[in-house]
Amino acid sequence: MDRKTQVSAGDGHQDIRITREFDLPRPLLFKAYTEPDLVAQWMGTRVLKLESKPHGSWQFQTVDAQGNVVFQASGVIHTFIPDRQIIRTFEIENAPFGVQLEFLNFEALTDTTSKLTMQIVYKSAELRNKMLQMPFSHGLNMAHNRLQQLVGKGC
C-alpha cells in the first residue's frame, strides 16, 4: 500500500513536516487553498474570512447542529506567492496549543501532478508532541471540552 501522505517529526524537534503528492496540476492544488468555497469543502468548516494576499488574515469556524461554535481557528498570511508558496500562522482559539507557523510549498511534478510540502513549527517540542498525540485537535469537528479532556489526560 502506498503512502501518499508522509509525516516526519524529528525526535526533540519542534516542527512537523508533511508531504503529499497529488494527481492535480499545481495551479489546481493551489486553488484548493485560496478559494473560500473549496477550502470549506475539503476542510469541512465554514470560512468566515480568507484574504489570500500578503498581510491578509483568515478565520475558520465550525458550528454543531444546535448552532454552537465547536471550533474556531484564525491566523495571518505572511507570504503569498501564487502557485508556489504560502507562509501563514494558524491558531486554534481556546485550545492549549498556541500559535503555529506554517510553510506551505507547492511544487509541480508533471503537468498533471504536484506536491505539497507543509512544515509546521510549534512553540516547543513539547507542544508539538501534544499535537501529535491528539490528531483530532487539528481536526475541525471537535468540541472544545472534549479537547480539554484529552489534553488533561496523562499516560
Partner 1 sequence: MNLRRDVFQAIADPTRRTILTLVATQAMTAGAIAANFDTARPTVSKHLQILTECELLQQQQNGREMYYHLNAAKMKEIADFIEPFRQMWDDRFNKLESIMKAYQANQ
Interface with partner 1 by CB under 8 A: which residues? 3-9, 12, 16, 18, 20, 22-24, 28-29, 31-32, 38, 41-44, 116, 125-126, 129, 131-133, 135-136, 138-139, 154-155
Q: How far is the CB of 55 from partner 1 (least distance, A)?
A: 25
Integer Cα distance of 2 and 62 in angstroms: 32
Integer Cα distance of 60 and 14 in angstroms: 25
Q: How far is the CB of 76 from partner 1 (least distance, A)?
A: 22
Instruction: Compute φ and ψ for 43, nearest 5 degrees.
Output: -85, -15
Q: Which is nearer to partner 1, 54 or 82 (CB)?
A: 82
Q: Which is nearer to partner 1, 38 or 69 (CB)?
A: 38
Q: Which is nearer to partner 1, 33 or 80 (CB)?
A: 33
Q: Give the dihedral sign, CA 22/14/76/146.
A: positive
Q: Which is nearer to partner 1, 41 or 94 (CB)?
A: 41
Cα–Cα nearest to 62, from 144, 120, 148, 153: 144
